[in-house]
Structure 1
Amino acid sequence: MNRTAQLLIAWCGPAMVILFVIGSVWLARYFPPAIHPSDSAEQVARYYQDHSTAIRWGLVFSTVAYALMGVWGVCVAVQTRRKEGVFPVLTYVQLTCMAAGTAQIVVNCGLWATAAFRAGEVSPEITQAFNDAAYIILLGTWPPFTIWAIAVGLNVLLDKSGHPVFPRWTGYFSIWAGVGFIPGGTVWFFKSGPFGWTGVVCLWVPFVVFGAWVLYFSYLAMRNVRSGFVHEQQLAAGS
Structure 2
Amino acid sequence: MRKDLYIRLERISAWCGVVLLIGFIAAFGAGGILTPMSPTKSPADIATFLQDHRTGILWCTVIMVLTVPFEYPYVVVTSLQLKRVEGGWGLLSMIQLTTGVVAPLGFFFPLAILSAAAYRPDIHSPDVLAAMSDTFWLMLVGNACIFVLQVWSIGYAAFIDRRERQVFPRWYGWLSVVLGVLLIPGAFVYLNHSGPLAWNGVLANTIPSLTYFVWKIATPYVLLKAIRSEERELAGTAESEPLTV
Superposed pair shares fold, TM > 0.5: yes
Amino acid at match of 1:204: T
Which residue in 1 is equivalent to 2:107? 105
Q: Deviations over 1:118-175 (max 9, x none)?
A: 2120121111111111111111113332110001111222223444211133222211
Amino acid at match of 2:234: Q
Q: Work out the CA distance in 2 between the residues paired with 1:236 and 1:124.
A: 65
Displacement of 1:236 = 7.5
Which residue in 1 is equivalent to 2:7? 3
Aligned pair count? 233
Which residue in 2 is equivalent to 1:118? 120
Contact 1:66 1:102 in 2 (8 A): yes
- The one of 180, 184, 189 aligned to 2:186: 184
Amino acid at match of 2:103: G
Amino acid at match of 2:155: G
Contact 2:106 2:144 in 1 (8 A): no
Which residue in 2 is equivalent to 1:24? 28
Displacement of 1:101 = 2.2
Q: Work out the CA distance in 2 between the residues paired with 1:191 and 1:235.
A: 57
Aligned pairs for 1:117-196 (under 5 A) are 117-196=119-198
Contact 2:144 2:186 in 1 (8 A): yes
Evaluate the alpha carbon distance shift between residue 74 and residue 86 of structure 1 in structure 2; reply closer, same or farther with a 3 A threshold: closer
- The one of 68, 71, 74 aligned to 1:66: 68
Displacement of 1:29 = 1.0
Displacement of 1:23 = 1.1
Displacement of 1:195 = 2.3
**Greater shift in the superposed pair: 187-196 or 117-126:** 187-196
Which residue in 1 is equivalent to 2:83? 81
Which residue in 1 is equivalent to 2:230? 229
Amino acid at match of 2:60: G
**Greater shift in the superposed pair: 58-67 or 112-121:** 58-67
Aligned pairs for 1:42-53 (under 5 A) are 42-53=44-55
- The one of 203, 206, 209 aligned to 1:207: 209
Q: Work out the CA distance in 2 between the residues paired with 1:199 and 1:166.
A: 32
- Percent same amino acid among aligned pairs? 26
Contact 1:100 1:144 in 2 (8 A): no
Evaluate the alpha carbon distance shift between residue 201 and residue 3 of structure 1 in structure 2; reply closer, same or farther with a 3 A threshold: same
Q: Work out the CA distance in 2 between the residues paired with 1:104 and 1:51.
A: 22
Q: Work out the CA distance in 1 between the residues paired with 2:27 and 2:64.
A: 5
Higher gyration radius (CA)? 2
Q: Work out the CA distance in 1 between the residues paired with 2:236 and 2:131.
A: 55
Contact 1:9 1:71 in 2 (8 A): yes
What TM-score results when the alignment is normalised by the length of structure 2? 0.87
Q: Deviations over 1:15-72 (max 9, x none)?
A: 11111111102x1011112x32111111111211222112101221133343333432
Contact 1:183 1:205 in 2 (8 A): no
Evaluate the alpha carbon distance shift between residue 169 and residue 49 of structure 1 in structure 2; reply closer, same or farther with a 3 A threshold: closer
Contact 1:109 1:134 in 2 (8 A): yes
RMSD across aligned positions (CA): 2.0
Unpaired runs of 5+ residues, structure 2, are 238-245
**Greater shift in the superposed pair: 102-111 or 162-171:** 162-171
Evaluate the alpha carbon distance shift between residue 8 and residue 17 of structure 1 in structure 2; reply closer, same or farther with a 3 A threshold: same
Evaluate the alpha carbon distance shift between residue 112 and residue 98 of structure 1 in structure 2; reply closer, same or farther with a 3 A threshold: same
What TM-score results when the alignment is normalised by the length of structure 1? 0.89
Evaluate the alpha carbon distance shift between residue 129 and residue 194 of structure 1 in structure 2; reply closer, same or farther with a 3 A threshold: same
Unpaired runs of 5+ residues, structure 1, are none
Amino acid at match of 2:35: P
Q: Deviations over 1:66-85 (max 9, x none)?
A: 33334322222111112212
